[in-house]
Amino acid sequence: MQHSDILSRFGLTSSTGAGLTARSPVDGATLATVAETDPALVPDLVANAARAFEAWRTVPAPRRGELVRLLGEELRAAKEDLGRLVSLEAGKIYQEGLGEVQEMIDICDFAVGLSRQLYGLTIASERPGHAMRETWHPTGPCLVISAFNFPVAVWSWNAALALVCGDPVIWKPSEKTPLTAAACQVIFERAVARFGDAPAHLNQVVQGGRAVGEALVAHPGLPIVSATGSTRMGREVAKLVAERFGRSILELGGNNAMIVAPSADLDMALRAILFSAVGTCGQRCTTLRRLIVHKDVAPTLLLRLKAAYASVPIGSPLESGVLMGPLVDSDAFAAMQTALTKAKAEGGVVTGGERTLTDRFPNGYYVTPAIVEMPGQTDVVRHETFAPILYVLTYETLEEAIALQNGVPQGLSSCIFSTDLREAERFLSAAGSDCGIANVNIGPSGAEIGGAFGGEKETGGGRESGSDAWKAYMRRQTATVNYSAALPLAQGIKFDL
Ligand code: NAD
C-alpha cells in the first residue's frame, strides 16, 4: 500500500500546512508536512477547553461513557489502518502497531465500565444527625503530552479516562508523530458525530514541539498535565506545573531489569528477553535494558541469547516476518553509538550494535541489537539509552541481584525469572523491587491496561490506565450534611455565646 493511501483512509493529505515534517523511520521518506500550532494560540485553545468543560462536567458519567464506547467502536473499525500508520510513522512492526490500537480499544472498554463506577464513600460522622460523604467531581481540562514511541496508545490511556471523568483533553503529541495524532482526531470526531450532542472541543490536538508544549504546560487553565517522555522533559514540566499548583501525572524514562535465577526456566526467559529487549527496536519505556543473571546460568544463557540475537529478522516493519524495525532517526542512532563507545570504555564487551541495511534504506537507521557484557553497573548502565542495548551483569546472591536491580535512578519495570517461590515473593516484597511494575516469569514490557501503569523515582511517580488511576483525573470533595436541628461542632468544641 502507498503511503498516500494510508493517509487518505483518514482524509489526510500530504500537506496540511507549513511547520512539521512527518518522516517515516522506515526509509526516511517525507510522509507529509503538517501545520504547526502557533504558541500564541494556546490561550484560545484553553478557552475552548474551558467552555467544553462547563458543558461536559454536567453530562452524567454513564452518558460520557457512551462517547468512549463509540470511540472504541470507531477504533475497532479503523484498527488495521491506524495500526499501519503507527507502523509507518513510528517504525514499529505492524503486529505491534495493531497491538497498540488494541490497547486503545481495551482502555475504551475499561473506561466505559468505569463510567458507572466512579464511586465515592460514605463516612461515619462523629456528630449526631450528620452524614458525611466523599464525592469525585470532574477537575477541568487535561493536557496530554506524549512521546513518539507510543504515538496513539498514551493519548487513549489518558483521554478515555479523562473523558468519562468529565475532563476535556488537549493533546500535544510528539513532533515526530503528528500524522497518527491527526488520524486519532479524525476517529474521535467520527465517534462525536454518532454521539450527537457533545460540546465542541472535547479533544483538541496541538501540533508542535517543545515551544508550544511549554506554553501549554505553563497555562493555569489546565489543572491536570499528564506528560509521557524523557526524564529531562518531566523535570522541566514538573517544575512549571508545581509553580502553579497544577497536578502532574509523569510517565518518564525507565531502565528495566530482569533477574534470571538459577532455578529459572531458561526457555521461557530467553523468549521473554527477546521480546522485551529487541521488540520496538529497544524503544519502549519498558524495554529490557539490564539482564542480571546468576553466575551459574550466565554462560549457557548468554550463548543461547547470542545465537537468538543473530537470527532476529531485521527489516521494514511493514513486512511480515520482520521482528525488528528501525530506530526512529539519526539522533537515536548517534545516541546508541555514543552509549556503546562509553560502555567499551567502562570495560564492556560488545556484541552487535552496528548499522545495517544501508543499501536498501540509506536514510533509515536499522541496527543489529547489542549485547554488552559489563564488569559492573557502571555509569552507562545506569542511564537510559533509547535503543536495543542489553547490558548483562552477573550475581551470586539474591540480595546482590535486588540491590543491582534497584541501584539505578529510574523505577519503571522489573521482573524475576525463578521457579523458587521464596525468591519470587522476596522480589515482590517491600524489601524487593522498588519499581512500579514487578513481574514473575514475565518480561518487563507489554503491560495489560487493567493494572495501574507507571513507575517510581526518575520515572516520575505517575499512574495511568487501569485500577484506580482514574482518581488523578478527578477532584475529591468531602461533604458533611447536617440534617439535625442542632449545630454540634466536631471534636466536641463549645463555642456558644
Ligand atoms: P521526549 O521527552 O523527547 O518528548 C516527549 C514529549 O515531550 C514530546 O511531545 C515533546 O515535544 C514534549 N516536550 C519535550 N520537552 C518539553 C517541554 N520542555 N515542555 C513540554 N513538552 C515538552 O521523549 P521521546 O524521545 O519522544 O520519547 C522517549 C522517552 O519517553 C523515553 O525516555 C521513554 O522511556 C519515555 N517514555 C515513557 C513512558 C512511560 O510510560 N513511562 C512511555 C513512553 C515513553
Question: Is the Cβ atom of 285 under 6 angstroms away from ligand 1?
Answer: yes
Please pick, among 66, 100, 175, 251, the residue that the annotation labels catalytic.
251
Does any ligand 1 atom lie closer than 6 A to the CB of residue 351?
Answer: no
Report the distance separating Cα 222 and Cα 145, nearest Å.
Answer: 12
Cβ count within 10 A of residue 242: 11
Q: How far is CA 327 from the centre of its chain?
A: 18
Whole-number pLDDT of residue 337: 98
Please name the residue whose Cα sits nearest to atom 7 of ligand 1.
229
Q: Would you say 93 and 323 are in contact if contact means Cβ atoms under 8 Å apart?
A: yes
- Domain match, 74 and 99 both: yes
Q: What is the 3-class SS of the chain, one letter each residue? A: CCHHHHHHCCCCCCECCCEEEEECCCCCCEEEEEECCCHHHHHHHHHHHHHHHHHHCCCCHHHHHHHHHHHHHHHHHCHHHHHHHHHHHHCCCHHHHHHHHHHHHHHHHHHHHHCCCCCCEEECCCCCCEEEEEEEEECCCEEEECCCCCCCHHHHHHHHHHHHCCCCEEEECCCCCHHHHHHHHHHHHHHHHHHCCCCCCCEEECCCCHHHHHHHHHCCCCCEEEEECCHHHHHHHHHHHHHCCCEEEEECCCCEEEEECCCCCHHHHHHHHHHHHHHHHHCCCCCEEEEEEECCCHHHHHHHHHHHHHCCCECCCCCCCCCECCECCHHHHHHHHHHHHHHHHCCCEEECCCEECCCCCCCCEEECCEEEECCCCCCCCCCCCCCCEEEEEEECCHHHHHHHHHCCCEECEEEEECCCHHHHHHHHCCCCCCCCEEEECCCCCCCCCCCEECCEECCCCCCEECCCHHHHHEEEEEEEEECCCCCCCHHHCCCCC
82: Cβ below 6 Å to ligand 1? no
Taking the centre of ligand 1 as the mean of its atom positions, its distance from the CA of residue 206, in whole angstroms, is 15
Give which of 148, 149, 92 is closest to 315, Cα–Cα. Answer: 92
Asked if 86 and 100 sit in the same domain, the reply is: yes
Is residue 485 domain-resident?
A: no
For residue 453, the ligand 1 atom closest to its alpha carbon is 40
Assess if residue 448 is contained within a domain.
no
* C-alpha distance from residue 79 to each of 96, 97, 154 (Å): 12, 9, 16
Which atom of ligand 1 lies at the shortest distance from residue 328's CA?
A: 25
* 239 and 289 assigned to the same domain: no
Closest-CA residue, ligand 1 atom 28, reads 229
Give, using CA atoms, the residue closest to atom 12 of ligand 1. Answer: 210
Cβ–ligand 1 contact at 435 (below 6 Å): no
CA-209 nearest atom, ligand 1: 11
Chain-centre distance of CA 161, in angstroms? 14
- Locate 441 and state its grid cell: 516469569
Domain-located, residue 455: no
Same domain flag for 76 and 221:
yes
State the CATH number of the domain containing residue 132: 3.40.605.10
Chain-centroid distance of CA 169 in Å reads 17
Query: Hey, which of 86, 285, 453 would you mutate to test ligand 1's pocket, going by the most ligand atoms within 8 Å of its Cβ?
Result: 285
CB of 158 sitting under 6 A from ligand 1: no
**Of 351, 178, 160, 390, residue with least CA distance to 270:** 390
Neighbours of 432 (CB within 10 A): 20
| Residue-level pLDDT at 273 | 98
Q: Is the CB of 172 under 6 A from ligand 1?
A: yes
Domain harbouring 330, CATH code: 3.40.309.10
Same domain, 225 and 328: no
Domain match, 206 and 181 both: yes
If asked whether residues 211 and 349 sit together in one domain, one would say no
Measured from the Cα of 412, ligand 1's closest atom is 41
Q: Quick check: CB of 332 below 6 Å from ligand 1?
A: no
Residue 450 lies in a domain: no
266 shares its domain with 407: yes
In this structure, the answer to whether residues 336 and 221 fall within a common structural domain is no
76 Cα: distance to centroid of ligand 1 (angstroms): 27
Ligand 1: atom nearest CA of 251 is: 41
Q: How far is the CA of 306 from the centre of ligand 1 (A)?
A: 31
Residue 102 CB: number of other CB atoms within 10 A? 16
Tally of structural domains, the chain:
2
Cα 408 to averaged position of ligand 1 atoms, centre (Å)? 19
Q: ipTM of the predicted structure?
A: 0.98
Q: How far apart are CA 441 and CA 419, in angstroms?
A: 8
pLDDT of residue 94: 97
CA-nearest of 73, 255, 72, 81 to 159 is: 72
399 in catalytic set: no
**Model-level pTM greater than 0.90?**
yes
> What string of pLDDT tens digits covers the 497 residues of the chain?
677 888 999 999 887 777 899 999 999 999 999 999 999 999 999 999 999 999 999 999 999 999 999 999 999 999 999 999 999 999 999 999 999 999 999 999 999 999 999 999 999 999 999 999 999 999 999 999 999 999 999 999 999 999 999 999 999 999 999 999 999 999 999 999 999 999 999 999 999 999 999 999 999 999 999 999 999 999 999 999 999 999 999 999 999 999 999 999 999 999 999 999 999 999 999 999 999 999 999 999 999 999 999 999 999 999 999 999 999 999 999 999 999 999 999 999 999 999 999 999 999 999 999 999 999 999 999 999 999 999 999 999 999 999 999 999 999 999 999 999 999 999 999 999 999 999 999 999 989 999 999 999 999 999 999 999 999 999 999 999 999 999 999 999 999 88
Q: Is residue 496 part of a domain?
A: no
Give the Å distance between the CA of 152 and the centre of ligand 1: 13
CA distances for 355 relative to 266, 334, 392, angstroms: 29, 10, 21
CA end-to-end distance (rounded Å), the chain: 83
Q: Are residues 238 and 273 in the same domain?
A: no
- Are 242 and 289 in the same domain? no
Residue 234 lies in a domain: yes
Query: Do the domain assignments include residue 113?
Result: yes
In a domain, 293, yes or no: yes
Task: Tell me the residue range of the domain where 42 lies.
Answer: 3-252+460-479
Q: Is residue 241 located within the same domain as residue 321?
A: no
